[in-house]
Amino acid sequence: MTMADPNHLRRVQLIRKGVLALAIVAVVALAAISHSLGSETPAHEGLEAIGIGLIALCVVGRAWCSLYIGGRKKAEIVDRGPYSISRNPLYVFSFMGAFGMGAQTGSATIAALFLLIAVGVFYLTVRQEEAWLEASFGEPYQAYKARTPRFWPNFSKWRDGETLEVRPVFFLTTLRDGLAFFIAVPLFEALEKAQEVGWVHILFSLP
């Protein structure tokens, strides 16, 4: 079996981060010139609170996944813990975080746009990763792929080992990256204040 280019996954991740950053900037710009229809209502505040909860779950979930996958993705097929019920649990938690970020605007439309962007970008990323893993590991990966969902977890498939070798540097890096999701809280609060004082003009409202 011919091994795939070892640098391919790194390039895929760099492209993914760049596209994701550009898309998020575009949606933030949309949020800056729009306003949620239910501003300062219980629904508005409730959506923001749900969003913060989802961001917290995202940070914890991503860190948990990194305990299993950190530093191992290119060396072996990880199929224990969260990776026994979903091939991409780290991305599933990222979906939650993306929706939570958009929810800080109080607009369900913006929250849905954040989620759709994340799903679209990660879906394309996963397709590239799957091709690399299949070329690298062959039949063992094909068997794992056949029994484990790409995203949505199948909890009946759960399996784990008695011990787990943890690599702290990968855990801490993932934790740091996850905490960046919380930037949405002060960012959108600042945008709301800028709109209130007239520094940013609202052109339309969104549900």
Which residues, 6 or more positions from 192, have their beta carbon under 8 angstroms from its beta carbon? none
Nearest in space to 57 (alpha carbons), one of 28, 105, 92: 92
Residue 30 lies in a domain: no
- pTM of the prediction? 0.88
What is the domain count for the chain? 1
Asked if 155 and 82 count as a contact pair (C-beta separation under 8 A), the reply is no
Please provide the size of the chain in residues: 207
> How far is it, in rounded angstroms, from Cα 72 to Cα 85?
18
Which residue range is the domain that position 124 belongs to? Answer: 40-199
Per residue in 139-171, pLDDT tens? Answer: 999 999 999 999 999 999 999 988 888 889 989
Task: Tell whether 3 is covered by a domain.
Answer: no
Could you report the per-residue pLDDT of 33-54, keeping only the tens digit for each?
A: 887 765 667 888 899 999 999 9
- Sequence-ordered list of residues with C-beta below 8 angstroms from that of 106, at least 6 positions apart, any chain: 36, 38, 39, 44, 45, 47, 48
Position 54 in a domain: yes
